Structure 1
């Protein structure tokens, strides 16, 4: 498989296709996947934060409601008239009827003050109050039911869930309290407050609920006593043993769990006053629904991207790689000595056309050389003469630039004349008659000429300041050291902020050396450029103008004068750069004494 891939990649056309797909389709797919993942994570986190905040507030409100309900039931229990009616059974049927009426009045008056569906009081000796029980529409057999017996035998309140005992055959949750006499601990009866779904739903009705989101109240056994989604799970066991185990360990939390094979974002919080847990379930598909449209759009763009990529590949193949393949076949025939091949004529003006025309020209020249082998020496001398005759004479170039400047000024274009004059001055100072050694003054003039050209090119002034001791301007100095560093500062440090950016050149004589500082207040030099500056292997790989100028100057200083004279760079991101050149003081005519052999020896050592 690896060999097949290598054979596939050996073709230029296939490499172009793979590279094109790699730089277009692959980043798009990776970005889409990354954006989808981060979007889902962000939505999950936002929903979890909102759910936890909402559950905490719901818990506070629900506990306040239940505490108030409990206090109201305690007030009913503490009613002296109620206690008196239940202390002694009625002596006659007439007394029983009168006691029943009084009981109903007490319960009715209290019910009007309570926020509950129904309020009931059950005497423990219910057989003594048949009229009262008929008014409640219950029978004496009620005391034999499990919930009644559990409440009567317990000193703590209990909650009883009737799945179909509420309005419209809905669930009914009853709060049952056993009460005793005010004077002793003799049980007197039960107080029951019935709560329907609507008594809980008001605490779990956010303004914006996601599709499929529901709120549950789970008791200590794991049974669901309230389900906000139409009591769908009310009375059932919570179908998540992991969540039940978690709520026993933590007071609150957020997890992503599967319930009935559907992934949900679950938030839960335990209540303080009751062994209940409030749970929020949000289906993951409801959370990710807002980005579904974005996914479809991304898929559409991906398909369009791939179609465009295929179209571009076909275009490149037909117009570029296929002609190159044909040219390669012709070259192989030429290698075999077949000069009878037919080279197709190309009218294209791009590089492919140049290649074909160049190849045809080469073939014709080779044929001519073979046919005129006896005149090879003469042809060689003619070619050498042509090469020599095409060499640019610097004086001719200077004179031509002066003529251009004169013509520009003669036509009133002084700006063009000044720019041409600066360019001629820059070329004259750069060539320096082929010598490597110049003076500090000529280097400064070269920098000024470069700055003048840059100002004309960008169309705005550059703040470049010069501070040099007068005595050092005539001192011997290696050429082309300052201009690359100033160019680097202008192009890569203060570029984009020419209004505030400035470059300062200052020179002085210090400890027998010439010391020149080039400072700017720009972006600073990237750390990777500084790390690779003194790395020989890294220098070969450094790319970009910001690295070339520094490397060139640094390497020339080290080669000519040794490692003690390499550049010293102080830089900080966003605060500018200071580059110090230390150059030995050379006697006049130092160019005769300073030779590359010295630098080469130092580089080897």
Structure 2
């Protein structure tokens, strides 16, 4: 086999390792980020859809009440005896028409404060017979009214109709949505004319304005055929059909709903609901781009991180190639020459202190003195066995340590050294409970037992009694429990709470079950924890180095709880009148404890 073939095989192996590295790290990372992005967009869309629907339904109900109230106000105007009297007879002389016009305009002026609208207008059934009245500015109409299709249609209809007057069709600069209602005499039921109630965008905006909590939200009022009557975006699409066939299909299928649709070429989160008073729909749209803006920023940060990550990976590959692969290629080439009897061939001396340098120097020694290398290999193997034997000899068997502590306790008890006996016994229990046979999950009873052992040792060390009260609900004693949670809290209460005042200091440890949680409360009447320690619990470890060193036990417990069970299970600390620490731990079944994926220490 030639050296070129060797090089080809080594390079191929390196390329395979690079591909494996990419498939195992970069591709799963990208797929996970893409999945997280999709779920984030879905969650934000669902939350905003629920909020927009609630707001839309409330707006619809308010607008329905307004339309019903407006209809009652119009009926009161129609039932006005003065109006009925004036519209009951056609004036025959200019004087009569002048008097009619004056009284009619005065009546409309007096009725306006009682009608919640932009203005109210009354048209007789034969407008041409009222030239002076029709030319007044109050009516805001130009042209021959009898020729207007909406006028003829309204005069023929017994039910009220709605008419949208765009700028140019009225004397206003904005669209006017008018309710047109034919009225008759109170007693003869003969048509007398039309009452036209105009609603400007100010009236509609009071009930149909979008929520300011959602960016770029837009509200439409439209007919069942998609004709836009009101647009909160400066009435940009009023008088036009909505540009979304998908929305029209949804409206035909149900009277209320939500979905992600295309409107005017943009992807929108749309909610809609049908009014009760009129066959109209209230539609709210929000651009998905406005909702997912923060996610895009996160994606940009992710892309930057991915680019840096790829650059670092390339750098690592180049480093491994230059610093490890190429020297190994030279070493393989030299070994091939040695295999064919070229013992005089030697590699350049290497000053490297790692395995590559050792291989280079070892290869040169082999080429120079093969017999000496064999002997050296034998000595190295014997030294290796001796080292392994020393390592095995110095390993401590926990059961041997327990037995030794028990022997010490027995001898201390036989010599009536009760304090030493009790302290050694407590130490043995503390060690046994702490190791927990390498398992991460223990029980509440074993945790309480460990606390008692620790308190006994502290009392012996400090030479003063620690007053601690245990209030434990017996039904939770055998419940699975994450180990080493209570002892650091008790240690903190002793050293940072009552140590400065053992005579009056006391600690209360209570354990109970609330629903699906085990609730543990540890209270002491000491001076309380420094604020810096409490604030540092949820900060990065380097945020406050001094506080982090002092609160390492609390931080360890807090971090483990959040890691295993989530943010809702972190420690809660009240520093008022001593220290009050509340710890919650989920109730776990035996099967859940056996399947627990938590790593053991």
TM class, shorter-length? 0.5 to 0.7
Q: Give the structure 2 partner of residue 63 of structure 1.
A: 64
Distance 1:340 1:253 in 2: 87
Q: 2:285 aligns with which of 266, 281, 296?
A: 281
Which deviates further from its counterpart, 207-216 or 146-155? 207-216
Q: 1:254 aligns with which of 247, 251, 258?
A: 258
Q: Secondary structure at the match of 1:463?
A: helix
Q: Give the structure 1 partner of residue 464 of structure 2.
A: none
Distance 1:177 1:265 in 2: 37
Distance 1:311 1:326 in 2: 22
Q: How does 1:163-178 map to 2 (within 5 A)?
A: 163-164=166-167, 165=169, 168-178=172-182
Is contact 1:494-1:523 (8 Å) kept? yes
Q: Secondary structure at the match of 2:208?
A: coil
Is contact 1:494-1:501 (8 Å) kept? no
Q: Give the structure 2 partner of residue 463 of structure 1.
A: 429
Unpaired segments ≥5 residues, structure 1: 1-6, 370-378, 402-419, 431-442, 453-459, 467-485, 503-518, 525-569, 578-605
Q: Give the structure 2 partner of residue 354 of structure 1.
A: 358
Distance 2:228 2:330 in 1: 78
Q: Which has the larger radius of gyration?
A: 1
Distance 1:166 1:88 in 2: 28
Unpaired segments ≥5 residues, structure 2: 1-7, 408-425, 451-477, 484-588, 597-601
Taking a change above 3 Å as real, the CA distance of residues 314 and 125 of structure 1, as seen in their structure-2 partners, is same
Distance 1:64 1:181 in 2: 28
Distance 1:125 1:365 in 2: 129
Which deviates further from its counterpart, 218-227 or 346-355? 346-355
RMSD, matched Cα? 4.2
Distance 1:306 1:8 in 2: 25
Q: Give the structure 1 partner of residue 162 of structure 2.
A: 159
TM-score (normalizing by structure 2): 0.63
Distance 2:259 2:50 in 1: 12
Taking a change above 3 Å as real, the CA distance of residues 362 and 571 of structure 1, as seen in their structure-2 partners, is farther
Distance apart, 1:278 and its partner CA = 1.0
Matched residues, number: 437
Taking a change above 3 Å as real, the CA distance of residues 96 and 281 of structure 1, as seen in their structure-2 partners, is same
Which deviates further from its counterpart, 293-302 or 181-190? 293-302
Is contact 1:227-1:233 (8 Å) kept? yes
Q: Give the structure 2 partner of residue 481 of structure 1.
A: none
The answer as to 2:85 corresponding to 1:84 is: yes
Is contact 2:442-2:480 (8 Å) kept? no
Give a deviation string over 1:220-244, Cα, whole Å, max 9, x none.
2221111111111111111112211
Q: 1:327 aligns with which of 305, 325, 331?
A: 331
Distance apart, 1:259 and its partner CA = 2.3
Q: Secondary structure at the match of 2:101?
A: helix
Taking a change above 3 Å as real, the CA distance of residues 182 and 383 of structure 1, as seen in their structure-2 partners, is closer
Is contact 2:125-2:194 (8 Å) kept? yes
Distance apart, 1:446 and its partner CA = 7.2
Distance 2:175 2:357 in 1: 86
Distance 1:389 1:205 in 2: 86
Q: 1:143 aligns with which of 143, 146, 149?
A: 146
Distance apart, 1:14 and its partner CA = 2.2
Q: Secondary structure at the match of 1:272?
A: coil
Give a deviation string over 1:42-75, Cα, whole Å, max 9, x none.
2212221121111111111111111111111100
Distance 1:36 1:73 in 2: 54
The answer as to 2:320 corresponding to 1:316 is: yes
Distance apart, 1:306 and its partner CA = 1.7
Q: Secondary structure at the match of 1:278?
A: strand
Give a deviation string over 1:392-417, Cα, whole Å, max 9, x none.
699x98xxx9xxxxxxxxxxxxxxxx
The answer as to 2:307 corresponding to 1:303 is: yes
Q: Give the structure 2 partner of residue 448 of structure 1.
A: 403
Is contact 2:208-2:219 (8 Å) kept? yes
Q: Secondary structure at the match of 1:21?
A: helix
Q: Give the structure 2 partner of residue 215 of structure 1.
A: 219
Q: Secondary structure at the match of 1:189?
A: strand
Distance apart, 1:391 and its partner CA = 7.1
Is contact 1:493-1:576 (8 Å) kept? no
Give a deviation string over 1:239-289, Cα, whole Å, max 9, x none.
112211211211111111222322222111111111101111222222222
Taking a change above 3 Å as real, the CA distance of residues 311 and 168 of structure 1, as seen in their structure-2 partners, is farther
Is contact 1:501-1:521 (8 Å) kept? no
Which deviates further from its counterpart, 104-113 or 68-77? 104-113
Distance 1:345 1:237 in 2: 85
Give a deviation string over 1:160-193, Cα, whole Å, max 9, x none.
1112145653211111001111113211110001
Q: Secondary structure at the match of 1:169?
A: coil
The answer as to 2:243 corresponding to 1:243 is: no
Q: Give the structure 2 partner of residue 267 of structure 1.
A: 271
Distance apart, 1:326 and its partner CA = 2.0
Taking a change above 3 Å as real, the CA distance of residues 487 and 19 of structure 1, as seen in their structure-2 partners, is farther
Distance 1:323 1:393 in 2: 30
Is contact 2:261-2:269 (8 Å) kept? yes
Q: 1:492 aligns with which of 420, 439, 443?
A: 439
Distance apart, 1:94 and its partner CA = 2.5
Q: Secondary structure at the match of 1:277?
A: strand
Q: Secondary structure at the match of 2:292?
A: helix
Is contact 1:215-1:280 (8 Å) kept? yes
Q: Secondary structure at the match of 1:156?
A: coil
The answer as to 2:199 corresponding to 1:199 is: no
